[in-house]
């Protein structure tokens, strides 16, 4: 059998759960017998059946002597659902081929061990790099309890995100903006600073593609966000979160009561010389089971995440425009610091209309 072929199919199936299973991993499963696919499934929603169970239930014939393919090691513990390993053993499947081991301490090789002890043959490490990339959010979150952080930047060729720091400006093409909305649907939360909230008055939802809306996070030390902002008034899903200082928490109780009446969650964090503590923000987002964070601005926010090395990925959407002056993407970062930060990254390029998307992924070396 072509193990890589079926693991690739598992990866493709798993992607259907993007945006719906977090903080759980994306998992797809295929069951093969006599070179025929007799069952397949994926993890569709957090708390629902896992991919292996869905694949087993989809089969219309006996699974005895079949081979099960899955991109991530089957679970062996009771969580929202019973252990997948037990279901596999009960089904009569003779072999399990796994993309990569699950780093969750509750699993971490225990699933493989239990399968082997039950006389089920196991092979793992098939397309491991691709399987790790698929679940980069999950692996970061399960190891650190903080979300995977992607800085998303739209800028001109000469490095500006706007020609006027006090004015909202669209730089990139509609196709690039659709890609950003797709990213929003896949990330658990989108974060901006209060200046961006005031100047742009964004909705931070998914409008140009199908998908679920993320949590909307604003860093607002002094609670300057306006009452009539979209993030406050259009919050029927109660997904707007504002991080403020403890000083604001104590001095603006009436305004906080108003924001909370609109379903806004107010979370205080400590301040330091650079503003609100980003490390504490990330820890508190992690405690809310937010495993991935798309940072959309502005310049000071980008600079702070970069300077404090609190990022995992940078996506720059480069538009074929020259603004000549304005606000730079990293206004508070020295040239040497910027070069050193991204010099050892893995880099990818994509094209949308006339825009170039440059993806910098922090090296794990």
Using left for φ > 0, alpha for ψ between -120 and 50, and beta otherwise, residue 126 falls in: beta
Contact indicator for 352, 175 with CB cutoff of 8 Å: yes
How far apart, in whole angstroms, are the C-alpha atoms of residue 325 and residue 162?
8
The question of whether 130 is a catalytic residue gets the answer: no
Our CA dihedral for 262, 19, 212, 53, rounded to 10 degrees, sits at: -110
Q: Where are the alpha helices (DSSP H) in 119-251?
A: 128-134, 136-144, 174-186, 194-200, 230-233, 246-251
Closest by CA position to 157, among listed 329, 334, 302, 315: 329
Q: Which contiguous run of DSSP H or E holds residue 224?
A: none
| DSSP string of 76-113, one letter each residue | -S-SSS--HHHHHHHHT--EEEEEE----TTTTTHHHH
Of the candidates 4, 52, 350, 353, the residue annotated as catalytic is 52
For residue 167, the SS3 value is coil
Residues annotated as catalytic are: 52
């Amino acid at each position: 059998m072509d193990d890589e072929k079926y693991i690739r199919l598992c990866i493709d199936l798993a992607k259907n759960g993007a945006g719906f299973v977090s903080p759980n991993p994306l998992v797809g499963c295929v069951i093969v017998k006599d070179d025929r696919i007799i069952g397949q499934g994926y993890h569709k929603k957090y708390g629902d059946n896992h991919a292996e169970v869905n694949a087993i239930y989809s089969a219309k014939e006996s699974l005895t002597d079949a081979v099960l393919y899955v991109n991530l090691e089957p679970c062996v513990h009771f969580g929202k659902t019973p252990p997948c390993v037990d279901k596999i053993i009960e089904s009569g499947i003779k072999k399990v081929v796994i993309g990569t081991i699950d780093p969750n301490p509750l699993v971490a090789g225990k699933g493989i061990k239990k399968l082997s002890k039950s006389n089920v043959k196991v092979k793992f490490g098939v397309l491991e790099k691709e399987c790790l990339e698929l679940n980069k959010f999950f692996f970061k979150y399960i190891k650190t309890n903080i979300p995977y952080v992607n800085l998303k930047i739209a800028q001109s060729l000469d490095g500006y995100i706007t020609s006027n720091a006090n004015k909202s400006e669209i730089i990139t093409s509609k196709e690039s903006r659709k890609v950003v909305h797709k990213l929003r649907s896949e990330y658990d939360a989108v974060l901006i600073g209060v200046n961006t909230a005031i100047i742009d008055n964004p909705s931070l939802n998914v409008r140009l593609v199908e998908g679920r809306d993320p949590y909307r996070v604003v860093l607002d030390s002094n609670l300057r966000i306006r009452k009539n902002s979209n993030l406050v008034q259009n919050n029927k899903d109660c997904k707007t979160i504002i991080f403020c200082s403890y000083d604001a928490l104590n001095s603006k109780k009436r305004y906080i009561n108003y924001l909370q009446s609109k379903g806004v969650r107010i979370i205080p964090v400590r301040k330091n010389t650079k503003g609100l503590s980003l490390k504490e923000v990330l820890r508190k987002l992690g405690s809310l089971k937010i495993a991935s964070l798309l940072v959309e601005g502005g310049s000071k926010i980008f600079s702070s995440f970069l300077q404090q090395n609190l990022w995992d990925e940078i996506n720059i959407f480069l538009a074929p425009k020259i603004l000549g002056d304005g606000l730079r993407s990293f206004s508070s970062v020295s040239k040497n610091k910027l070069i050193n930060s991204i010099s050892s990254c893995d880099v990818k390029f994509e094209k949308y209309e006339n825009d170039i998307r440059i993806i910098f992924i922090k090296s794990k070396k």
